[in-house]
Structure 1
């Protein structure tokens, strides 16, 4: 089998394509959180899965997994350049398949395998049908766990690959517009992720209220809140709906009869958790995430629920980190622009001196040329 040189044009093009697929997958995984939908009316109070959205998201996720599988294959077929040999030229290339495999297995292989496992698809299509015989929130927690457990490895993997692409090709965000687009994408991605979590956590809080009230009602079972059970909820749906109705946070402070949803009051009261219109609920949640991230969470009024507070703290930290990153990148770009300008002036000055030497200009004329260049020519 052929072993590719890391500096081959084909491999560099593939790495750029894979970085793009990783970016798409990072934006794709949070869409799994929009699959759960609530049904809230006088007859039913339950949770179900939007199977149309589930199919679309799972198919798209499988496509990005295919890119990941191809990338793993190329990792076993890409030579290794000895770092110590780079100073003497292009570097010594190791093409021994065993050495290549050993190096990859000891570095990013485990992370790549964790990132490619089709765990979200398994949870959605294998475990979801069994929710009718179990507690719906268990499946939601499993979906949340597998998405998070794979999101972190994918996020950690894309950065070193991005650095490698920049080092090998020198092109991706080496311009002001490219850097601005990169930072803009990171900010939009963070807003999207926060909005998706807000939607999902809002449904979890609604379910938490249902379970709390269910324990106080005879004959009520946790699994009755899955719409697929087709059970008669007439005996307790009115009590649960009344106790778990959404009210403003200020009203819950003066009453112990209402459940405090905190920052999730907005997503529940808006009705997007009951809608299967993906465009509506995605845009609404994305806007909330963008607004909260831009204000670093200062506009959010939480309840006393611990994980809600942790979520808001993460929003505040993310907003500050992205702001500092933007400022740092701007400083780096300005410094690089200044350094490049100084180098250009130095080269121009050297060329001018060489030209005057070749033309054997007298010293007084040389001084006049230097004076002119220092005041006008180097601007």
Structure 2
């Protein structure tokens, strides 16, 4: 009993020392108050999730076989919850689990911003994120959606990894801005890990898996919606051209206003 209490006290002292070091560092660097608040919130969330243990450092000290068994125990059931992976064979899932890195995000944290290079693919285990795009100024298409447990972001990196000429010098740009709206727990696959998995397992290149990937990808859904809206606008323009000789200029202006209202209502839907 005494030994347990002593260990708890020592652990509490280490946590307090670390927090004091962080506070002194923030004061020394003169970080703005809002940024200090974000750092404290992240430290508190990380402590609640890991009890102050650096899991990556702890795992790296174990032999490879034992490390694989631990990662399989920790990650396999969670990975199976991701619809993209639920039909993959055991060997492929174990390879993915071995390379997954646990990550935590506090409320308000940006995982990635639109047009920034994508350096990892994240799979949401707990929490919720907002994902939005403006089309990067290219299409003027605005889309916002919610990412929930089982969803993923950074899917541009998977498409990049499946290309034969992909390299770290030509990373894809993000088509979306993703921001945590609650505390989020996720697993991440980095550039080299995703490239390795894609190279080792040809199943990732199958047409069936690519179709499933596109079905669950919010990026591909956005593109599909964008193309549908573009086709709808072309349809309206063709109608205008067809009726203009019949109704005249004044009638065409009235018809154009009516079509613009229909376009706005369809975009809101």
Same fold (TM over 0.5): no
> TM-score if structure 2 supplies the norm length?
0.26
* Structure with larger Rg: 1
Which structure dedicates a bigger proportion of its chain to strand? Answer: 2
Could you say which structure has the higher helix fraction?
A: 1
